[in-house]
Amino acid sequence: MPEAPAGTLYRGREGMWSWVAHRVTGFLIFFFLLVHVLDTALVRVSPEAYNAVIGTYKNPIMGLGEAGLVAAIVLHAFNGIRVMLVDFWSKGTRYHRVMLWVVVGLFVVTMAFFLPRHLGNVFGGE
| Nearest CA among 114, 107, 85 for reference residue 97 | 85
Task: Indicate the DSSP class of residue 5.
Answer: P
Q: Is the pLDDT of residue 112 over 80?
A: yes
pLDDT tens track for 6-22: 555 656 778 888 989 99
Residues comprising the chain, all counted = 126
Give CA 118 to chain center in angstroms: 16
- Quote the Cα angle for 113-115-117, to 5°: 80
* pLDDT at 105 (0 to 100): 97
* pLDDT at 17 (0 to 100): 87
Q: Global pTM?
A: 0.83
Q: What is the mean pLDDT of residues 65-94?
A: 94
- What is the gyration radius of the CA atoms in the chain, in angstroms? 19
pLDDT tens track for 30-67: 999 999 999 899 889 898 988 998 888 889 999 999 99
Q: Is the pLDDT of residue 93 over 90?
A: no
Q: Which domains can be identified in the chain, with CATH numbers?
A: 15-124 (1.20.1300)
Higher per-residue pLDDT: 73 or 4 = 73
| CA atoms of 69 and 30, how far apart (whole Å) | 11
